Structure 1
């Protein structure tokens, strides 16, 4: 008999007693201790806790036993897998253990707990909410360091939900984890994504890396009748499973000479919005459904431009951030607008005429997609007067034309304060939105004001 034991003091003691009782009945017992949690790694004390790597140990040992390997070999194989595995977890919301009247620890809405355990234990650090990319780095960095993983090595990657994490969220973290390991030159040979080692109703995720070779992969791929084991085919990831998105996107950006004015303008706009997410969220809670600030934050999260980027490239990076990352109507409309500006500037550079054409095309795209007109309490109320100001500017210098557009956009945005929405989700609440400036129009005014 093999005991696969997670390294918790109570588990170790009880399994030791069980082994003694088995021995008294003439049953031979081998013990495989799983101690994979790097958050509890220390020079003294009980050592690393046993967490999600248990799944890998049980699968490999089970497959070896099923093919007829003897007890000692199966146990030694399990110990090898356990020694080559490390995990770390993060919680977005704590769990409430059975019999308790309150969660195991308190966690703010904008906080996550790093290094939590699977029995509801709090972690080793509390930080502001992390993106999926930041989660992958925060968890897999210590995991790889503890294992001493280097470029060229192969691993099995386990993305494990802690109980109340949606599969979609797990898949997003899975993609980020693949990119992180690929960036360190580590090849992911097999993957397991789902909720397998949980902490009741804790919302969170753990990431586990398991060193592997051909023997371990063969046993991992061996068929099993365990009902919760995924039925996906056993195969290596294709070369395109982890793509260099940033490099691919950069290679497709419009070329041309850089324009420091445009780079500074757009960068200033981005920073203004990033620093005002709470304000935008509050406005949308009062005049819509409350997701506008989040959509802006996500759309601009990865914005970064090289000083050599052309004006068209700068606006295309902005467009792709909204179209590829942000959700809701706002992400689509802002993305479409900035894309049209990029197209107008491609090959022409940034002049009063080209910017006026791009803004006009962007406005046309927005009205075509969403149907909004001036007076409907949307971003169009700021964008339409700005487009007219640029059109009427003629051949004046671009900075002067944008100053006129900024004044017009600001007046247009302010006009939405006392109107009732006719389009968008603010239209669902009628007079309740009166007295609140439309956040989309406000951001449009900030865009021109940043120039």
Structure 2
């Protein structure tokens, strides 16, 4: 049975931090699309968030940290030349870790890599979104409402498709994806704790808004 949890507690879990301090999202001060440098910063920031706050990823923290470290090793061994290659390396790294959530995220990162070329655009995000959700479902992810990471991934994907239809830049699209993922994550609360897979997805999209 789901129980309520203080809004402040949920907000703290969903807020991206750096050195223990909250980071504010970028609001129109940089180019709309993400080039290679900013895509690497997105990944590195997400990795740092996972490592520093792994205790909040109840039951999956250790697996996700190992996957993130494996992804970082893959990036070091084969430095990316294009933005999409960042997520190719991430998918490769995550595939080496047997944990359920890392395994389920491999096809998501693979679809990002397939759709993204030189820059992360709203169109490439939208193209990856639907295919990525389908791939995660085929990989055996528990359905949304179980709860599971799909409670955050599905609404985020829908937000990205909507952002592409509205013609907004990638940074704005990532804002929309994060808000949708965060709302979905809040709906997973059980015994005062959000689903860790959904929380991970929310962190991923939020980190994309602060590079």
TM range (shorter): 0.7 to 0.9
Match of 1:288 in 2: none
Tell me the distance in 1 between the aligned counterparts of 2:181 and 2:172. 14
Compute the TM-score of the two structures, normalised by the length of structure 2: 0.74
Q: Distance in 2 between matches of 1:397 and 1:271?
A: 26
RMSD, aligned α-carbons: 2.0
Map Cα deviations across residues 334-380 of structure 1 (whole Å, 9 max, x no partner): 112111111111x4631101011112211111112215322120000
What is the alpha-carbon distance in structure 2 between the residues aligned to residue 446 and residue 371 of structure 1? 19
Distance 2:41 2:128 in 1: 18
Counting only pairs closer than 5 Å after superposition, residues 66-85 of structure 1 correspond to structure 2 as none
Q: Which residue of 1 aligns with 2:50?
A: 273
CA contact (8 A) 1:363 1:384 kept: yes
- State how far apart, in whole Å, the 1-side matches of 2:104 and 2:141 are: 11
CA deviations over 1:294-320 (Å, ceiling 9, x no partner): 111110113154676311110011111
Verify: 1:365 aligned to 2:135, yes or no: yes
**Whose helix proportion is higher, 1 or 2?**
2
Matches within 5 A, 1:156-305: 259-280=36-57, 283-284=58-59, 292-302=60-70, 303=72, 305=75
Could you tell me whether the CA contact under 8 Å between 1:379 and 1:440 is conserved in 2?
yes
Among 400, 403, 408, the residue aligned to 2:180: 408
Aligned counterpart, 1:321 = 93
Work out whether residues 129 and 161 of structure 2, in 8 Å CA contact, stay in contact via their aligned partners in 1. Answer: no
Contact kept in structure 2, 1:348 and 1:354, CA below 8 Å: no
Q: Give the secondary structure class of the aligned counterpart of 1:416.
A: coil
Distance 1:439 1:321, change over 3 A: same
After superposition, give the CA deviation of every residue in 1:237-289 in whole Å (9 maximum; x if it has no partner).
xxxxxxxxxxxxxxxxxxxx952221111111111111112222xx22xxxxx
Gaps of 5+ in 2: 1-33
> 1:97-112 to 2 correspondence within 5 Å?
none
Check whether the contact 1:258–1:308 (CA below 8 A) recurs between aligned residues.
no
8 A contact 1:352–1:397 mirrored in 2: yes
Select 1:435's aligned residue among 192, 195, 200: 192
The answer as to whether partners of 2:104 and 2:141 remain within 8 angstroms in 1 is: no
3-state SS of paired residue (1:417):
coil
Alignment match, 1:353: 123
Supply the distance in 1 between the matched residues of 2:129 and 2:203 (Cα, whole angstroms): 15
- The CA distance in 1 between the partners of 2:146 and 2:204, in whole Å, is 20
Change (3 A) 1:300 1:368: same
Farther off after superposition, 390-399 or 348-357? 348-357
Residue 341 in 1 paired to residue 112 in 2? Answer: yes
Q: Distance in 2 between matches of 1:336 and 1:308?
A: 19
Indicate the structure (1 or 2) with the bigger Cα radius of gyration.
1
Which residue pairs with 2:9 in the alignment? none
Correspondence for 2:101? 330
Whole-angstrom CA distance in 1 between matches of 2:138 and 2:35: 31
Q: Which residue of 1 aligns with 2:145?
A: 375
Q: 1:258 to 1:310 in 2, by over 3 A?
A: farther
Runs (4+) of structure 1 moved beyond 6 Å? none
Gaps of 5+ in 1: 1-256, 285-291, 419-433
Number of corresponding residues: 169
Alignment check: 8 A CA contact 2:35 2:118 kept: no
Q: Judging by fraction of residues, say which structure has more strand.
A: 1
